[in-house]
Amino acid sequence: MSAIAQLLFPSTCLLCNSPGLDLCALCENKIKRNHRPILLTDTQLWAGALYGDELSELILLAKEKHISPARNFLAQLLVESFMRARSEHGESRPVFLVPIPSSKSANRSRGYRHAYLLAGELRKKISSPNRNLITVHEALVVNRKVSDQTNLNKQEREHNVQGAYSVRKLNRIQEQADLFLVDDVVTTGSSVREGIRTLREAGVRPLGVLAAGVSPRLFS
Ligand SMILES: [Zn+2]
């Protein structure tokens, strides 16, 4: 559905077009929530739901079509991930949310930065005063040409992102802050692992990764 159709008919399900909510109960029930953190090498990943057809479609709508209700739903899953991560690590420290960046060409052709908008929505959904502690910080940037990861296998993904990120404006990252990487979905973990590696090389250790979805294969 186009953004204009979305404005004209605000209350149909994004996935099955039935009237009522942005996401009807039937479609939402097909998206299986996830409560278990996963260890990615040595960094914890909290993901709100298991990746499947419905979540894949919502990510596509948010990422490629700029559909706000789809992004809202992903942000809600991120809030759930965030709350779980915070309950394990305490809630008093400032937080930096660092989006996993898309390539410059993808940002240019879309006209927006998908993960940045997602992290911003996550921040907006956190209630005050906790929200005041949270900053979205684009500390990672893509420094060369990379392909879209969607149709690549694990090895190709790793090769595609290897050395592809740089850290910028590191001096804005405070010593006493918790840093979380933010992504829509973690499938093989290649991008987030490379993000973690790049930040560590620059002397920053992320506390964890927050994602809307995670591939069930990562649990096996
Ligand atoms: Zn539906």
Give the pLDDT of residue 110.
Answer: 95
Q: What pTM did the predictor assign?
A: 0.90
Q: In the chain, pLDDT over 90 holds for what percent of residues?
A: 66
Tokens of 148: 């879209």
22 CA to centre of ligand 1 in angstroms: 8
Query: Are the C-beta atoms of residues 149 and 183 closer than 8 Å to each other?
Result: no
What are the pLDDT digits (tens) for 112-163?
A: 999 999 999 999 999 877 788 899 999 999 988 888 777 888 888 888 888 8
Give the pLDDT of residue 220.
Answer: 74
Q: Using DSSP, how many helices (H) and how many strands (E) does the chain show? A: 8, 8
14 CA to centre of ligand 1 in angstroms: 7
Which helix (H) or strand (E) is 193 found in, with range?
Answer: helix 190-201
Burial 86-99 (b: 16+ CB within 10 A, else e): beeeeeeeebbbbb
Structural domains in the chain plus CATH codes: 21-29+37-219 (3.40.50)
What are the pLDDT digits (tens) for 84-115?
A: 998 887 777 889 999 999 999 999 999 999 99
Q: How far is CA 162 from CA 137, 144, 147, 157, in A?
A: 22, 10, 12, 8
64 CA to centre of ligand 1 in angstroms: 20
103 CA to centre of ligand 1 in angstroms: 32
Tokens of 182: 């933010």
